[in-house]
A and B are shown apart, each in its own frame.
Chain A
Amino acid sequence: MEEIVNVEAVSRSFPLDTSSAHHPSQSFVRALSHTTLRVTAGEFLAISGPSGSGKTTLLNLIGCIDRPTTGRILVDGVDTSTLKPKGMSSLRREKIGFVFQTFNLIPVFTAAENVEYPLLIQGVSSSERRQRVVEALESVGLSARANQRPDLLSGGERQRVAVARAIVHRPALVLADEPTANLDTHNATQLIDLMHGLNRRLGLTFIFSTHDARLLEHTERIVRLCDGEVISDQLQGGSRG
């Protein structure tokens, strides 16, 4: 299978006091320590662990939102450590879709316009944008709510719009940071089913951070982090290491 993400011995440290970044006695907190992870295309992978274990940091690094202190990350064959900010931005635009815990929809755009946004910044023609937005909203079951603004949608609907936005440009990878954290059980279950369905139907690769047991039940592979280190990497029904 094609390797979509390769995290090679990545560490990430943050200075404790950013106002004295160059002070010789500067102390750091290590959010991630010598982490190695390989993800192949079409996987549905959960990164699990308690708060502060480094889940979001790892997702940010894979999503080219942040840079590792040491080590390197390859996304769809591209070594992100060699990329300049414009290259990172371009990689995110072309190859990655994001789903955030707090949905992060643009409040002045309708659901359809939010879904259209990634295509807009890619320079896709308006006719193709229209068609792909319709398809994406259909795939998340929200065609009827296309012209509603986010403040008129429920939490579950907003997160489904966010999923449609993350997949509309057919990315190589979808990253979701705690996607069910702000949803009730009913909506969380619907979202899990939706993401799983998209993973199986479209072959999309999903990596998400969660400590939601409901979501973990549906996940084939679970990577557990603790204090910035991978403590287990399990396949449902078997172990990878």
Chain B
Amino acid sequence: MAKFLLLAFRNVFRNRRRTMMTLFMVGGGVAGLLLVGGFFSFMFWGLRESTINGGLGHLQVFSADHFNRDEVRVLDTGIDNWRQVAATLKTGSHVRGVAPRIDFYGMVSNGDKSSVFMGSAVDPAAENSLGFTTRFASGNDLDSKPGGEVEALIGTGLAKSMNVKVGDGLTLLAMTSDGALNGVDVQIVGIVHSGIAEMDARSLRITLPAAQRLLQSDRVTNLVVGLDNTDNTDMVATELTPRLLNLPQKLVLKKWIELATYYKQVRSLFSMIFIFLGVIVFFMVLMSSVNTLLMTMFERTREIGTMLAMGTPGAWIVALFMLEATLIGILGAAVGLVAGNLLGFLLNHSGIHLPPPPGNTVPMPFKVLHVPSLMIGSSLLVIVSLALASILPAIRASRLRIAEALSHV
């Protein structure tokens, strides 16, 4: 077997120029997949972390009725004794903190003009402790100290449509739990942008106590849990779920992935694009390798005839050709891994930024992640492609007519 492997290995380097061309092609395919896949992985990672750190958190707790709620009277299905629930959640390992929230809707008016808003009431201190980032176009964050005027942050689009700036006042109107319309005057302390234009045209944020006064309820709609690492999400969710069952109110724990609709759509789209690229690389390697291996077989006709004449079983000839192709695949994959990782490293240090993707306003850095599963997958892809490509030439070689093969010039 070792001699046979040696024969295959030496045959691979018989025609060095052609082998180099094949390695270049196979390696190019692997490097291309690594760069594209690495960039997509970076995008997924960046989108995941920005989604989580943008306020989604790693886990969220809702009342069991939350998903059948009335969009106007949101706190009817809120969490009753949320401080007790928050304390329970904080007992989980890897939990960095818990932030209470009220997601609500209402009307905002500047006296001349009114608009619908999507409100979010937060505890600024809890949000900051979880590292949730807010991108300010101007102004400052909410003050968590009680008393004084009600402060608000509004999205850039909403500020533009309401023609207001930091320091100006607005009036918020929303439906209380008992169905009455309530209002509150707020002072704008900051104008924020999320990167998604549609969000910025509607978003408004006030403090939790202010929202509870407006909505006449001390409930919250949800509790956001921040962890030390996204990879611990499943483990903590498994740990906390039974603890929540011991509480009086029926609650539901959701992982970030279940709530990140946009992330899932983007990931699904780009995964399909990547699979399509993989299929193209597979056929590219397959078709060009069949041609190269048929040429190799043709050039070695007399040698194969000699081996068959000496009594080499046809299966050995098939195995030899497939082994040679597999070796080229392995070497090509190695070349591709080195080239792909090197190019990735250079690109990561080049400081290149891409234009903002559709719906976003922030340029995206061009980074390539070095993903082990991607390296293994793309290497296996080209190795299997080459092994498959060798089947036809290998079978042809094993079925050569010996007398004709021996007289082949």
Contact = CB atoms under 8 A, between A and B. Distances in A.
Q: Are these two chains actual partners, yes or no? A: yes
B313 A113 contact: no
Contacts of B316: 121
A56 to B, nearest CB: 8
Interface stretch (B224-232, B272-280, B302-310): B302-310
A190 B382 CA distance: 51
A94 B310 CA distance: 9
A121 B3 contact: no
B403 interface: yes
B310 A63 contact: no
A60 B405 CA distance: 12
B311 A113 contact: no
A66 B403 contact: yes
Contact of B308 (A89, A94, A118): A89
A106 interface: yes
Interface string A101-117: 01010111100010011
Contacts of A102: 302
A167 to B, nearest CB: 12
B3 A92 contact: no
Q: Chain A: interface secondary structure?
A: helix
**Interface SS, B side:** helix
Contact of A121 (B6, B10, B303, B310): B310
A84 B4 CA distance: 26
B64 interface: no
B399 to A, nearest CB: 9
Interface in A65-98: 65-66, 85-86, 89-94, 96, 98
Contacts of A98: 306, 309-310
Contacts of B6: 113
Contacts of A90: 311
Contacts of B306: 98, 100, 104, 106
A106 B310 CA distance: 12
Contacts of B11: 108
B7 interface: yes
Nearest to A109: B7
A104 B303 contact: yes
A159 to B, nearest CB: 14
A79 B283 CA distance: 48
A120 B6 CA distance: 13
A118 B311 contact: yes
Contacts of A117: 307, 310
Interface in B301-327: 302-303, 306-314, 316
A113 B312 CA distance: 15
A86 B313 contact: yes
A118 B311 CA distance: 8
A87 to B, nearest CB: 11
B406 interface: yes
Contacts of B312: 89, 93, 121
Contacts of B14: 107-108
A120 B309 contact: no
Among A65, A93, A116, A118, max chain B CB count under 10 A is at A65
A106 B7 contact: yes
B380 interface: no
Contacts of B403: 60, 65-66
A130 to B, nearest CB: 12
B392 to A, nearest CB: 20
Nearest to A61: B403
Nearest to A65: B402
A44 B311 CA distance: 23
B137 to A, nearest CB: 69
Interface string B355-386: 00000000000000000000000000000000
A85 B313 CA distance: 10
A61 B3 CA distance: 31
A222 to B, nearest CB: 24
B3 A113 contact: yes
B310 A65 contact: no
B131 to A, nearest CB: 62
B234 to A, nearest CB: 53
A32 to B, nearest CB: 13
A192 B406 CA distance: 23
A92 B309 contact: yes
Given A86-B313, A118-B311, A121-B313, A104 B302 contact: yes
Nearest 8 CB-CB pairs, A to B?
A: A93-B311, A108-B10, A92-B311, A104-B306, A65-B402, A66-B403, A60-B403, A89-B311
8 contacts: A60-B402, A63-B309, A65-B402, A65-B406, A89-B313, A91-B311, A96-B311, A109-B7
Given A89-B311, A90-B311, 10 more contacts: A86-B313, A100-B306, A102-B302, A104-B303, A108-B10, A108-B11, A113-B6, A118-B310, A121-B311, A121-B316
Interface of B: 3-4, 6-7, 10-11, 14, 302-303, 306-314, 316, 402-403, 406
